[in-house]
Each structure stands twice: as structure tokens, then as C-alpha cells.
Structure 1
Amino acid sequence: MKKIINAPDQIVEEMLSGIVRSYPKIVTRVEDTRVVARVKSSEQVGLVSGGGSGHEPAHAGFVGDGMLHAAVLGDVFTSPTPDQVLEGIKAANANQGVLLIVKNYTGDILNFDMAKELAEMDDIEVETVVVDDDIAVENSTYTAGKRGVAGTVLVHKILGAASRAKRSLQELKTLGEEVVAQTKTIGIALEAATVPEVGHKGFELAEDEIEYGVGIHGEPGYRKEKIKPSKELAEELVTKLLEAYEETPKEIALLVNGMGGTPLMEQFVFMNDVLDLCATHAIHVRFTKVGNLMTSIEMQGLSLTMLDVTTHPEWVDALEEQVTTIAW
């Protein structure tokens, strides 16, 4: 295992310290916690997300004006504990209520729900939006139902704009559920990641093999086969995503998300092929984003997220709003 670290059991603490010391004008660390919060806040509904570390820049990279108010970090690929999530809720609370944006993994659901109950005992009004955008498989490792993956970042962005516009907690919850319902993601892996404290790759693929539908923790997908040109990979992923909608979207937002070990060069090649396919289907692409936004440590691969904005042009406006974060 080759990694630029000191001790595997200190990697999250040292990473967290590095984040807040690198960007002190944007984020701060809540003392004695693993919570990253905004340096400056205002009277609006607080947005809190988080989960296991190893998905950087998610979620701390999206804390700041226009997106999240706080992010809670767990150990690598492990949910943060309820007491840590509670500290995130308190940090985000500006007496307007707090909305939790939670990826659909069993540990995250249980721990965020428990934190919600604890916060309500402290008279903080809390609601939850669960993101389950991964259409590849259901009831996989770590989860019951569909997994929450890179589409979560688009939810952060749209809800961040709504919070900044002083929308109410209930309005944000309804909006979040509407966005999640129109968000679909599917991914591919070329090579697995190595969790530092484990010391070996999470799964094995042959040199010329890929896996469709793999999760952001290395959970299994739905098929392995020989690697194909980008155009053919794009065709499979676009086809699967379009089939997941009841009606083919007329207007969409697209996110090509790198899993950590795939160069931007290859991500842009892939997006180019996706855009060609959308043109073939007469689908108007209103918004695009390319980059490493929700990774799986150094996994080689990428995911494609599609958001149907046909009847919601205001979502495009929200995606295009300027924000002050580390990573958007």
C-alpha cells in the first residue's frame, strides 16, 4: 500500500485539520468534534450533510455560503456517530430549523435519525431528505433500497440556493424530495480503492475488466466485462438512466463525477460522448459539471448523474448560482 499518510488510524483527524487550516476564511472546525461548519452564517434554514470519510471533497468541500452549513465526518466509509451529527445540527442551527441531507446507507439513516431525535429534545426543529439516486442495484452492501451517491451534491447545491433565498424548512424538505425523485446516477469502476486501515484493495478486477454499477464504498455492481471504448460505456450508462424515468426527459442537468483515480482528461472524453448521445435523443442539456465531487478514495472509475429539469428551470438557476465553498 502506497499512500501519503502518517498513521492509518490518524488519517481522518489529520485530513480534517488540513481542511480547516487550508481554508480558514470558508470553514472552521467545531471544537472537539469532527464537524466542519461555515465561518460565517446567517438567519436561514441550516443544511447538514455528512457520512464516512473517503469521499472527498464530499462533504466538507461543500460547506459555505450557498451550500451546506455544516458537514459531519465519520471514519473511512463509516457513518458519523449520532453525537457528532448532533453537534453538526447545533452548529448549523440559526433558529430557522435544520435539514439533514442523508445518503441512503443503513448506518447513516440510523445515526442521523437518532441525532434528529436528540436535537428535537433540545427544541431544534429538524427534517430529513434521504438521497437514493443510484439506479444500479437495490439492497446492496451497506443499504436497504437504492444507494445515495454523487447526485447528493446536486441536492446540496439546489437546496443551498433555496436556503439562501430564505425558504422555510418544510419548503426545503419538499423541494429536496422533488429533486431526489428526478435524480438518477450510475457508475463504473476500473480498479478498486484501498482503505488505509485495511491495507488492500476492496475488490479485484482484471487488468482489462470493468464493473458496471459499483457503489462509492466498492459495493458490487450488476455486471463485469472487458473494458470498452468510452463511447460504448457512455451508451450503456445513458440508456440505463433514461430507462429509469417514466418519460424521457426533454431537458436535463448532467454530472460526470470522478471516483478519485480517473484523470480529468478521461472524464471530459466521457462527457463529450454523453453529450453526443443526448443530442441524438434530442435532449437539451441545460447544465453540466465535470470533476471529482464524490470520490471513493483512489478508485478508478466514474459515475454519471442525470437530473430531469424539464418542468423546473429554476433548478438550473440554482445550480448556476455562485457559491463560496472549497470544492464546487
Structure 2
Amino acid sequence: AIIVDDDIAMEDSTYTAGRRGIAGTVFMHKIIGYYADQGKSLNDLKAIAEKVNDNLKSIGLALTAATVPEVGKPGFDIADDEFEYGIGIHGEPGYRREKIKPAKEMAAELIGRLKEEFNWTTGDRFAVLVNGMGGTPLMELYLFWNDIQGQLGDEGLEVDFVKVGDLMTSLEMQGASLTLLKLEDADWVSALQAPVNTAAWG
């Protein structure tokens, strides 16, 4: 079995054992699906998945909580002028709540945390996913990506693949997550670019 644990925001919290899996799971499914189509064995797929997981990191933020279907309302309250870093896709709490600030500053926080994890150097190559949480307009996700793109460029990183959209969501949550996959294997870009017939990937 492969456990995707890309969320760098939390580890061994009240709500988790180890790290959580969030939107990085989408990249994992896409890459492993590609290699499965190539006829790779289960052992080969497991080895590839482990390598992908080692190079896959995500972190998110939310302006509102997810709606809990059983009760029909958000699981907790975030004030209209606040947001929370590191929130989970099922409504698990994050690591810090702040007053609303410009998207560029939010992006800088997420990139700073990812930089600590990757310890990247100039010229490192990445695939990027800016994932909506279900209630964020696509236009706002692209604005967020614009800020992220500029800051990754300032870090001297090369971005070989980008996906922006709602791919792993929480019911009615407003927010976004940022996933980076360090491209230790150049063929992963081919895997991400390969055509698929799914509703969300597009």
C-alpha cells in the first residue's frame, strides 16, 4: 500500500497520525495511472509511487470551513476578516489564523514553508498544482497562481507543468492549496501531460 502524506502543515496532531494526504494525491493518481497504462507491474508502480511521494509536498489555506453534510452547515466558524493556514480538506484545523491579507503575502507563506521542506536550489524543476477547495472562483485561483509563479521564479525554480482548478475539494470551502512535485524523473511531466478521460482533469 502507498499512503500519500503530502500535507506539510500538520504532523501527529490531535486529528492526525503522521501527515495528511491532500491535493498531492491528484498528481499521484495521474502519474501512477499513466505508468499502469504502460503495463508496469504492481511492484514497479509501488516503487514509482514511493519516489513520487518523497518529492510531493502541499500546503493550503481556507477563508471558510467546509460544510458538514450531516448537519448542513460549516463545521466551525472563521470570521469574515480572517483566514487559516494549513487547514485539512475535512475541516481539520490548521496551524495559524490571521486577518485577511493580500494574496501575494499568503503565497509567500506557503512558498516559505515548502522551501523549508524541499531545501531547493536554483534550477530545480517542479510541477505545480493550485487547487481550489470547492468554493473559490477560478479567476481567484489564477490570480493566486500569478503571485505564486512570480515568487517561484524569484527563487530560481523552473516550472515544467502547471494545473489550476478544483481537483480535490471540500464541500463549499473557500480557499486553495499549493502542491509542488520536484521532478526527479523528467518522464513525470509526460505522465502529467498524458490525455485522460475524466471529469475534473480537463
TM > 0.5 between the two? yes
Return the letter of the residue paired with 1:151.
Answer: G
Please tell me whether residue 138 in structure 1 is matched to residue 24 in structure 2.
no
Residue equivalent to 2:134: 260
Residue equivalent to 2:110: 237
Q: State the alpha-carbon separation in 2 of the partners of residues 140 and 291 from structure 1.
A: 28
Return the letter of the residue paired with 2:158.
Answer: H
What is the DSSP-based 3-state SS (H/G/I as helix, E as strand, rest coil) of the residue aligned with 2:29?
A: helix
Greater radius of gyration (CA):
1
Residue equivalent to 1:149: 22
Q: Which runs of 4+ in 1 moved over 6 A?
A: none
**CA deviation profile, 1:283-321 (whole Å, cap 9, x unmatched):** 000000000000011101010000000x31100111001
Q: State the alpha-carbon separation in 2 of the partners of residues 254 and 286 from structure 1.
A: 8
Q: State the alpha-carbon separation in 2 of the partners of residues 292 and 187 from structure 1.
A: 13
Return the letter of the residue paired with 2:56.
Answer: T
Return the letter of the residue paired with 2:169.
Answer: T
Please tell me whether residue 180 in structure 1 is matched to residue 72 in structure 2.
no
The size of the alignment, in residue pairs, is 200
Residue equivalent to 1:294: 168
Q: State the alpha-carbon separation in 2 of the partners of residues 203 and 183 from structure 1.
A: 29
What is the DSSP-based 3-state SS (H/G/I as helix, E as strand, rest coil) of the residue aligned with 1:267?
A: helix
Residue equivalent to 1:168: 41
What is the DSSP-based 3-state SS (H/G/I as helix, E as strand, rest coil) of the residue aligned with 1:228?
A: coil
**CA deviation profile, 1:255-302 (whole Å, cap 9, x unmatched):** 000000000010000001000001111100000000000001110101
What is the DSSP-based 3-state SS (H/G/I as helix, E as strand, rest coil) of the residue aligned with 2:63?
A: strand
Return the letter of the residue paired with 1:173.
Answer: K
The offset of 1:324, in angstroms, is 1.3
What is the DSSP-based 3-state SS (H/G/I as helix, E as strand, rest coil) of the residue aligned with 2:67?
A: coil
What is the DSSP-based 3-state SS (H/G/I as helix, E as strand, rest coil) of the residue aligned with 1:191?
A: coil
The offset of 1:199, in angstroms, is 2.4
Q: State the alpha-carbon separation in 1 of the partners of residues 168 and 120 from structure 2.
A: 28
Asked whether the 8 Å contact 1:134–1:184 carries over to 2, the reply is: yes
1:196-275 equivalences under 5 Å are 196-248=69-121, 250-275=124-149
Indicate the RMSD between aligned Cα atoms, in angstroms.
1.1
Query: What fraction of aligned residue pairs are identical, expressed as a percent?
Result: 56
**CA deviation profile, 1:173-209 (whole Å, cap 9, x unmatched):** 0100110110000000101121121122111111100
Residue equivalent to 1:15: none
Q: Which segments of 5 or more consecutive residues in structure 2 lack a partner in the other structure?
A: none
Partner of residue 320 from structure 1, selected from 193, 196, 200: 193
Asked whether the 8 Å contact 1:251–1:308 carries over to 2, the reply is: yes
1:54-93 equivalences under 5 Å are none
Asked whether the 8 Å contact 1:188–1:212 carries over to 2, the reply is: yes
**CA deviation profile, 1:206-253 (whole Å, cap 9, x unmatched):** 110000000000101100000111111111101111111144471000
Return the letter of the residue paired with 2:54.
Answer: A
1:27-46 equivalences under 5 Å are none
Partner of residue 150 from structure 2, selected from 269, 276, 294: 276
Larger relative contact order (CA 8 Å, sep ≥ 6): 2
Asked whether the 8 Å contact 1:140–1:219 carries over to 2, the reply is: no
Return the letter of the residue paired with 1:233.
Answer: M
Q: State the alpha-carbon separation in 2 of the partners of residues 145 and 246 from structure 1.
A: 21
Q: State the alpha-carbon separation in 2 of the partners of residues 235 and 286 from structure 1.
A: 20
Q: State the alpha-carbon separation in 2 of the partners of residues 201 and 263 from structure 1.
A: 19
For normalisation by structure 2, the TM-score amounts to 0.96
